[in-house]
């Protein structure tokens, strides 16, 4: 399987960039050549998340303006063979990007790579619409399980639907299984039913996502529940039928909760 996925949300800060980076690492490690295209013009973040912040010379806008070739702007991600980053411009405005040029770049990337994951800017304004208007991306909507984030996701969803057929696939991020179990937090199924979107993934709130950032590494290098959930999502994108754990359906054991406090590095992503 292959595809071009636009990773969007209504509300900002729900985990789009974190999950795009994680999905990219998982897809590449599963054998799919993958490019993360950072479309967050002016507020790029993927270079830092992927350990490439000092290596950006050319960016997406340089490619579009013809100042460099696509291959010159693509950066191989360290320690993840098969994963590349096409960085966003740091000092530009969203209006510098137009849907037609972006479509050309995406088509060109897809001739060489299996997956293109587009890290979208937050909100439903120009930056988001530029990407949505290409009309060639399958949308993935990220939300956290709260009313505000879901309301904003619904707004983004209706704009995406003008451009693409069907409802976007949904990632519910930052779930706390214990709170879901006691009924204090919506379950991923409830969020998916409320938004009427097919569920792609349920990702737990995981302290190791933050602890990885502090260590200047990725949570995908650590043995943690968020990594396992992201790998399951990547396998679904590759067309595998992967069952959902239904976080919160049962109370997590003391052992599971203690295990989340430990930090263990992993050599490969193939062991799920
Ligand atoms: N599952 C998770 N568990 C714990 N922390 C998380 C999780 N997902 C994301 N985060 C944290 O949430 C914060 C926001 O994430 P991120 O920058 O990926 O969001 P975003 O949607 O891309 O934001 P923006 O809309 O500003 O681009 C980061 O500090 C990230 O480490
Ligand atoms: Mg982001």
Residues of the chain above pLDDT 70, percent: 96
Residue 238 pLDDT > 80: yes
Residue 23 has φ and ψ, to the nearest 5°, of -65, -40
Compute the distance from residue 72 Cα to the ligand 1 centre, in Å. Answer: 29
Mutate to test the pocket of ligand 1, among 6, 7, 12, 18 (most ligand atoms within 8 A of CB): 18
**In contact, 82 and 25? CB cutoff 8 Å:** no
Q: Which ligand is nearest to the CA of 14?
A: 1
Residue 266 pLDDT > 70: yes
Q: What is the pLDDT of residue 120?
A: 93
Q: Whose CA is nearest to atom 16 of ligand 1?
A: 15
Q: What is the pLDDT of residue 143?
A: 97
Regarding the beta carbon of 205 and ligand 1, being less than 6 Å apart is answered yes
Q: Which ligand is nearest to the CA of 212?
A: 1
Regarding the beta carbon of 11 and ligand 1, being less than 6 Å apart is answered no
Residues of the chain above pLDDT 90, percent: 71
Regarding the beta carbon of 13 and ligand 1, being less than 6 Å apart is answered yes
Mean pLDDT of 186-190: 97
Which is the closest atom of ligand 1 to the Cα of 121? 27
pLDDT band at 263 (very low <50, low <70, confident <90, very high): confident
Alpha helices of 113-146 — where are they, by DSSP H?
Answer: 126-132
Which is the closest atom of ligand 1 to the Cα of 119? 22
pTM for the full predicted model:
0.93
Going along the chain from its start, the domains and CATH numbers come out as 3-259 (3.40.50.300)
Which is the closest atom of ligand 1 to the Cα of 123? 25
Q: What's the whole-number average pLDDT of the chain?
A: 91
Regarding the beta carbon of 15 and ligand 1, being less than 6 Å apart is answered yes
CA dihedral 181, 183, 188, 191 (to 10 degrees): 180
Q: What is the pLDDT of residue 268?
A: 64
Regarding the beta carbon of 206 and ligand 1, being less than 6 Å apart is answered yes
Name, of 182-186, 231-235, 267-271, the range with top average pLDDT: 231-235
Q: What is the pLDDT of residue 251?
A: 76
pLDDT band at 66 (very low <50, low <70, confident <90, very high): very high
Query: By mean pLDDT, which of 125-129, 151-155, 168-172, 186-190 is the weakest?
Result: 125-129
Per DSSP, the residues of 1-69 read --EEEEEE-SSTTSSHHHHHHHHHHHHHHTT--EEEEE--TTS--HHHHTT-TTT--S-HHHHHHTSS-
Mean pLDDT of 207-219: 93
Q: What is the pLDDT of residue 270?
A: 54
Structure token pair of residue 112: 């060489």
């Amino acid at each position: 399987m292959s595809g071009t996925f636009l990773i969007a949300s209504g509300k900002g800060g729900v985990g789009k960039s974190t999950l795009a980076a994680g999905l990219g690492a998982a897809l590449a490690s599963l054998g799919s050549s993958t490019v993360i295209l950072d479309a967050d013009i002016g507020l790029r973040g993927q270079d830092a998340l992927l350990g490439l912040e000092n290596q950006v010379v050319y960016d997406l806008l340089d490619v579009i303006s013809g100042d460099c070739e696509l291959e010159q702007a693509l950066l191989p991600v360290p320690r993840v063979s098969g994963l590349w980053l096409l960085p966003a411009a740091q000092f530009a405005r969203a209006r510098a990007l137009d849907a037609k040029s972006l479509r050309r770049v995406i088509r060109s990337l897809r001739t060489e790579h299996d997956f293109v994951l587009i890290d979208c800017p937050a909100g439903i304004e120009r930056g988001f619409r530029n990407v949505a208007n290409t009309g060639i991306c399958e949308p993935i909507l990220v939300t956290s399980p709260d009313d505000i984030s879901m309301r904003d996701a619904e707004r983004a969803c209706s704009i995406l639907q003008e451009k693409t057929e069907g409802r976007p696939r949904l990632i519910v991020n930052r779930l706390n299984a214990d709170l879901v179990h006691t009924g204090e937090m919506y379950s991923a199924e409830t969020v998916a039913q409320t938004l009427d979107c097919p569920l792609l993934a349920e990702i737990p709130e995981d302290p190791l996502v933050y602890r990885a950032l502090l260590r200047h590494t990725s949570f995908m290098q650590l043995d943690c529940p968020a990594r396992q959930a992201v790998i399951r999502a990547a396998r679904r994108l590759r067309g595998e039928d992967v069952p959902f754990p239904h976080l919160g359906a049962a109370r997590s054991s003391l052992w599971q909760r203690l295990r989340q406090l430990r930090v263990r590095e992993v050599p490969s992503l193939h062991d799920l």
